[in-house]
């Protein structure tokens, strides 16, 4: 099993550009999450999904959109990137809501 994978690993954007980060898991997990990690801020939840076709806002959702069209995929979109969105983005998944979350390798995004 590949576990949780993320595409791309690195990306540089200009302010105003858009992009989509892809997260895929092959563990048949129901729950999926997107976090961002910033120095001194720890990890913060952006959006999450409790199953195929569902999404919900986390604690820092502004400027991001998500979709969960297939159970194994969770997409994070930035419609108009801003320098404040420069961060490392982690996707995670868990089998049930109380189970441990398994994380992907992260995507390092820089917005100039």
103 binds other proteins (CB under 8 A): yes
Largest Cα–Cα distance of the chain, in whole Å? 38
Nearest approach, Cβ of residue 20 and other proteins (Å): 21
Select 17 or 61, whichever has its Cβ closest to other proteins: 61
Question: Of the candidates 12, 56, 82, 112, which one interacts with other proteins according to CB under 8 A?
Answer: 56
C-alpha 29: how far from its chain's center? Answer: 15
Q: Which of 13, 25, 31, 75 binds other proteins (CB under 8 A)?
A: 31
State which of residues 1, 2, 14, 59 lies at the interface with other proteins (CB under 8 A).
Answer: 59
Count of alpha carbons within 13 angstroms of residue 33, beta-carbon side: 21
Asked whether 34 and 63 are in contact (CB, 8 A), the reply is no
112 binds other proteins (CB under 8 A): no
Question: Could you tell me whether strands 10-13 and 31-38 are parallel, antiparallel, or unpaired per DSSP bridges?
Answer: unpaired
Contact between 98 and other proteins per CB under 8 A: yes
User: Residue 40 gets which letter from DSSP?
Assistant: T
């Amino acid at each position: 099993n590949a576990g949780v994978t993320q595409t791309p690993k690195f990306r540089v954007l200009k302010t105003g550009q858009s992009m989509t980060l892809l997260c895929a898991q092959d563990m048949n997990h129901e729950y999926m999450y997107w976090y961002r990690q910033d120095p001194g801020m720890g990890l913060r939840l952006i959006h999450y999904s409790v199953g195929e076709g569902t999404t919900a806002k986390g604690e820092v959702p502004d400027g991001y959109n998500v979709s969960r069209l297939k159970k194994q995929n969770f997409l994070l979109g930035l419609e108009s990137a801003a320098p404040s969105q420069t961060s490392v983005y982690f996707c995670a998944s868990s089998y049930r809501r109380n189970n441990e979350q398994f994380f992907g390798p992260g995507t390092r995004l820089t917005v100039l």
